[in-house]
Amino acid sequence: MFLHSASRRESNVSKLENLKQRFQAEVDAAKALQPKAENGTLSADETTAFKNHIKNARDLKTAIEQEKADNDVRSGLAALTAELNGSGNGVKAIPGNAKVRASGGTGEWAKAVTDYSERFGMKSILANGAVPVQVPMDTEPIPLNSPVLSLRQLIPAVADTTGVWKYIQQTVRTNNASTVAQGKKKPTSVYTYDDKEGRAVVIAHLSESMPRQIFDDAPALQEALESEMRLGLELELEDQIINGAGSTTGVLDDMVGIGNTSGIQTLARTSGDDEFIVTRKAITLLEKSAIAPTGWVMSADAWESFELSADANDRFMLGNAPVDRAARRLWGVPVVLSEAVADTTVYLADFANATRLHVRQEGRLDWSENHYAADKFGASAPGSDFEGNMIKWRFEGRFGLDVLRPFSIVEVDLTPAA
């Protein structure tokens, strides 16, 4: 059952006002203690209270900004629904986020959509029923206390206008800089670059044919459908970034993912190493080459094994282990969860400088009434969607991956040493 949009807006306004009132109360309470704080006459209890008021005010300020952004999105959706109900050109779903959390359509995923919409806004419907989506071009700083929602948050994106391009891949970096006496020969450093060709590949899927009436009766369904189809595309895109094999057989037209890129570094567990030791060695492997890693990519099961690690007395090590569960960090480096990665494999990389995602066409939603089937209305009863007042949806995007510096990526094998 879908709530009426006006009721939802009223509820959200009330929530915003409540947050503002709580924020003001914390600010007032902190101001009341401020003179003592400046004079250094706060008691121990007052010092604790003063710090708590400041922390609560900061948290509430963040919540207020987020609620304002959520309200903007809800208002936009309501306006779109009103526009669509007054036109006969089809159903439009909201534009989604290029940094979708690849695990579901609510919670963190919904917040990612909100963040995108706030930054890039929305566009009106096209006459042919297509949904245009703008593309964020730059990676954003990852807040220290927030988990990374998807791999695409770590990879810079660039708009592509051709579908085929060339780029330079650095395969060797040997720095031999040194002091040199006057008149003596200078040392030679080795920097090897290769010319590479990149191209955009199509990632797409269709829905089944659906009665047009259900979208008239439940306008919010269009948002749910767009979310589901976008999620499917994002999951496949993430798999291509990790596992794309460059295959062009059958219907496949794969990227070459980082796991199949020549020149990436590999690291395996040796005798006596556990998961924590081998992952710390991976960081060292990059840092010895002056490379600062920006993220891990691993499966949910692999991350679970880090969190559930126990000592000899079966006590969880989480409190003493290099794991920050709330911010999802391992050895201080953000962790992205992806089911595209095998449970025994972890990738560590300086994604900001080692990879680049070309976006030829961001995820685009289209619909059609022209689908024909030989048994549309039963055995030996052919027909089209138009005859049954049905519509079929297609969600499609075109993307390409550049691996600019393979040696800035480490593939870690978590399999215990024999």
Task: State the Cα–Cα distance between residues 197 and 181, nearest whole angstrom.
Answer: 43
For residues 144 and 124, membership in a common domain is answered with yes
Integer angstrom CA distances of residue 310 from 163, 270, 280, 317, 329: 50, 20, 18, 5, 18
Choosing from 63, 86, 109, the residue where a domain stops is: 86
Residue 26 belongs to domain spanning: 1-86
103-156: per-residue pLDDT in tens? 334 445 445 444 543 443 333 334 345 544 444 445 555 666 677 778 999 999
178 in the same domain as 99: yes
> Do residues 148 and 80 share a domain?
no
Specify whether 178 is located in the same domain as 252.
Answer: yes
Residues 353 and 330 in one domain: yes
Integer Cα distance of 306 and 303 in angstroms:
5
**Residue among 390, 371, 376, 88 at smallest CA distance from 211:** 390
User: Domain with 354 in it: what CATH number?
Assistant: 3.30.2400.10
Task: Say if residue 305 is in the same domain as residue 361.
Answer: yes
CA-wise closest residue to 296 among 325, 335, 267, 269: 335
The verdict on 103 and 73 lying in the same domain is: no
Domain end: 45, 63, 86, which one? 86
Tokens found for residue 142: 């990852």
Note whether 126 and 143 are same-domain residues.
Answer: yes
Nearest to 207 by CA among 223, 221, 228, 235: 228
CA dihedral of residues 4, 9, 14, 19 (deg, nearest 10): 130
Closest CA relative to residue 174, chosen from 270, 257, 288, 17: 288
pTM of the model: 0.66
What's the CA gap between 215 and 252, in Å, rounded?
Answer: 33
Per-residue DSSP letters for 292-311? Answer: ---EEEE-HHHHHHHHT-B-
Total domains, the chain? 2
Kindly state whether residues 21 and 131 are assigned to the same domain: no
Task: Among 54, 86, 118, give the residue marking a domain's end.
Answer: 86
CA 162 to chain centre: 25
User: Same domain for 82 and 95?
Assistant: no
Same domain, 8 and 150: no
- Do 401 and 376 lie in one domain? The reply is yes
Question: Could you report the per-residue pLDDT of 226-261, keeping only the tens digit for each?
Answer: 989 999 999 999 999 999 999 888 788 999 999 999
Which portions of the chain are predicted below pLDDT 50?
A: 1-13, 83-84, 86-107, 109-110, 112-114, 116-128, 131-137
